[in-house]
Amino acid sequence: MLNAITAGTMLLSSLGAPATGMNAVAPPDDMTISVVSANGSGCPKGSAVVEVSPDNKAFTVSYSKFVAQVGPESGPLDYRKQCQLALNVEIPTGYTFGIARADYRGYARLEKGATASETAFYYFQGMSKTGVSKYQFNGFMDDSWQVTDEVGIEAVTWLPCGSSRYLNINTELKVNRGWSDKTTTSFITMDSSDLNLDTIYRIAWKECPQ
């Protein structure tokens, strides 16, 4: 069962009514996304995979090595893992897009007294980053987690029409032992290899001026 953590969610407005110029239907041609670079301890080479939904309305990032932990068998730097992805997004001519919503998912096993956090932001190359979202989880916890950042259409950052820029996605997981038993292990993961717990980015489309 997924735990919905709501504290700190960046809920800017409802996605109910599209703004002027917003195209309610995704373009007929496919968008393609490839990973240009993946840097960080949370996404070693080949461990982050991107897949576009058939309806062009979302894409999913799946991680297989994204785990932060503390405990007797943990290394001194294992308490913090981060990943910076640079994605090459190719979209149909005459359209632009932005990220309207991001669903972050994972699993956490935290002893009583331990805490963990997930931090994320994304931005187009050469443009200002989105507001940084941060969520905290408190032990004791042994469950799946899910958090959502939702942006109203009027606040979406759009890729400038006719330009080609990488989409940068930055995420961080961190565990703090706190006053938990030092002989135990606490961890948080965005690891989708076993439980199919993926990060999903929802796309908003808009037609460019002719």
Indicate the range of 4-13, 18-27, 145-154 predicted with least confidence.
4-13
Judged on CB neighbours under 10 Å (0-12, 13-18, 19+), 73 is exposed
Judged on CB neighbours under 10 Å (0-12, 13-18, 19+), 158 is middle
Longest dimension (CA), the chain: 64
DSSP conformational letter for 4: E
Q: Are 145 and 105 in contact (CB under 8 A)?
A: yes
Q: How far apart are CA 207 and CA 54, in angstroms?
A: 20
Q: What pLDDT, on the 0 to 100 scale, is given for residue 197?
A: 52
Q: What pLDDT, on the 0 to 100 scale, is given for residue 25?
A: 67
* pLDDT above 70 for 5: no
Q: What pLDDT, on the 0 to 100 scale, is given for residue 24?
A: 47
Which residue is listed with tokens 């290394």? 75
Per-residue pLDDT tens over the stretch 145-194: 999 988 877 788 899 999 999 999 999 999 999 999 999 999 999 865 33
Which residue is listed with tokens 């929802």? 202
Q: Are 65 and 44 in contact (CB under 8 A)?
A: yes
Mean pLDDT, range 131-156, rounded to an integer = 89
Residues near 101 by beta carbon (within 8 Å), at least 6 away in sequence: 15, 148, 149, 150, 151, 201, 202
* pLDDT above 80 for 14: no
Q: How far apart are CA 87 and CA 177, in angstroms?
A: 34
Indicate the range of 15-24, 31-40, 131-140 predicted with least confidence.
15-24
- Residue 109 CA: distances (Å) to CA of 64, 142, 144, 149: 17, 4, 9, 23
Which residue is listed with tokens 């997930």? 118
Residues near 44 by beta carbon (within 8 Å), at least 6 away in sequence: 38, 65
Q: Are 168 and 27 in contact (CB under 8 A)?
A: no
